[in-house]
Amino acid sequence: MGNDGGSIPTRRELVREAARNPTTAQLKETQRELQEHFWNTCPLSHKQLMRPIVSDCVGNLFNKDAVLRYLLSGDEAEGISSKADCDEFLCGRVKSLRDVVELKFEVDTEHLQHPAGKHEKRERWICPVTAKQLGPNVKSVYLVPCGHVFSEEAVRQLKGDRCLQCDEPYTSENVILILPTKESDKQQLIERNQKLAEQGLTHSLKKAPGSKKRKKHANGDAVAATAGNDSTSKNGKEPKLGSISTPLTRQQSVTAGRSNTSTSAPKASSTIKNAATAMLTARVLEEEKEKKKRRRLMGNNDNLSSLFTKESGQDGMSKNTDFMTRGFTLPANSRH
């Protein structure tokens, strides 16, 4: 039988075949399974992809509510992976909703009938030009900033500069490949995002929140102040508030309007103009508020707090010990 003291097996006898590199067919199958996973699963929440769906600058797909939870919640965000895992996957590409584009799929509803007699509706995302089902087997792209999704073959053959769905103009650089597999395609998308950042724009071609806009407002205030000083120097004295003889210039009126409305109404940048995004954000915030409320109620529960005691007696031992040390007492004069 061997290995019974009479003989010692060698490595050649134990290892019949050497390790081999995966074949091209195996690599393609692994890549297809990976593509299928990311076409159906959100990498932040690990849930099924459901509309509304957004994409970042390198073509990854996310549930919009998962991105909102990542942006609005703290380190202990529920419904998504840990903050460290999300940061590792995103690599700093998503800092606000301006860094993602909401995708608009052409939906075809498919009716499925189970053997038990139940009917089920399932959505299929198709290309509006070729009618092919979009997924891991079809190379797909979307346009920025409108977000309409097509097959890469349709966009390449038509060679237009306007979206076929909404007639919005676009350039060849703003055709984003969904879930690219080649490193060259990923690097090209990263370089595009870097160029936009240098121009003060985000992936969605919206202005990045920076200091340029604030500097512009500051310069406007400075111009208004300078105009006021000039009018004062010409007259030799400051104009009265109730006087009508010194009309305000356009810049001064704009500045005065800002100062009057800054305390009464919120800024436009702090409000969400998109109604769907506002409703989704409100729902996420409400869910987070309810979860925090439940945590506080669990913390104030008498049944749970009775299991753990923090008060101790004069001898250093609590009369009402918790359930882990109940039934065990240590003599006061014992020394170890």
Domain borders along the chain are 106-178
Q: Please say if the pLDDT value at position 188 is more than 90.
A: yes
- Whether pLDDT at 108 is above 70: yes
Task: Quick: pLDDT tens for 201-248.
Answer: 999 999 988 745 444 444 444 444 444 444 444 444 444 444 334 444
pLDDT for 59 beyond 80: yes
- CATH level 3 topology of 106-178: Herpes Virus-1 (3.30.40)
| CA pair distance 19, 9, nearest whole angstrom | 20
pLDDT in tens, 147-183: 999 999 999 988 888 998 999 999 999 999 999 999 9
**What is the pLDDT confidence band of residue 258, given thresholds at 50, 70 and 90?**
very low
Report the pLDDT averaged over residues 185-191.
94
CB 88 within 8 A of CB 82: no
pLDDT value for 286: 77
Highest mean pLDDT among 83-92, 294-303, 325-334: 83-92
The pLDDT value recorded for residue 63 is: 94
Q: What is the pLDDT of residue 198?
A: 93
Q: What's the mean pLDDT in 272-282?
A: 71
What's the per-residue H, E or C state across 196-230?
HHHCCECCCCCECCCHHHHHHHHHHHHHHHHHHHH
Q: pLDDT at position 325, please?
A: 55
Q: Decide if pLDDT at 139 tops 90.
A: yes
Interatomic CA distance for residues 23 and 326, integer angstroms:
62
Claim: this prediction has a pTM higher than 0.75: no
